[in-house]
Amino acid sequence: DIRMTQSPSTLSASVGDRVTITCRASQNIGSWVAWYQQKPGKAPKLLLYKASTLENGVPSRFSGSGSGTEFTLTISSLQPDDSATYYCQQYNSWTFGRGTKVEIK
C-alpha cells in the first residue's frame, strides 16, 4: 500500500502569512495527488488535482507543486476563511494523508 506522510500535523499562522504543507509518498506516484480542505462538520472540498491544477472556483492563493514522492500545498497569503484541516491524497490507490490543521493566530 502507498502511504502518504503529511506534515506538519498542525500549524498556527497569521493572516497574510505564506503557509506550506508537505506530503511525502512511500513510492513514486507521478503527479497523481489531490489536496482537499475540510471544515468541521462538513464534507471535504477539492482544491487541487494532478498535484498543481487548481479546481474551478478555488482562490488563486492556493497552489500545489511536486512530483514523484514529494508534494506541497502552499497558501500564498493566509485568510481567516482558510482555517481548516487540509488533506493530501494519492489517487493511484486512493490513500489520504493524516491531515494538517491550520489555525489562525
Partner 1 sequence: QLQLVESGGGVVQPWGSLRLSCAASGFIFRDYSMHWVRQAPGKWLEWVATISPDESNRYYADSVKGRFTVSRDNPRNTLYLEMLGLRAEDTAVYFCAKDRDSGGYYDAFDYWGQGTLVTVSS
Contacts to partner 1 by CB under 8 A: 1, 34, 36, 38, 42-46, 49-50, 55, 87, 89, 91, 93-99
Residues 6+ apart with CB under 8 A from 37: 44, 45, 47, 82, 84, 85, 86
CB of 17 to partner 1, least distance (A): 24
CB of 46 to partner 1, least distance (A): 5
Strands 70-75 and 10-13: unpaired
CB of 15 to partner 1, least distance (A): 26
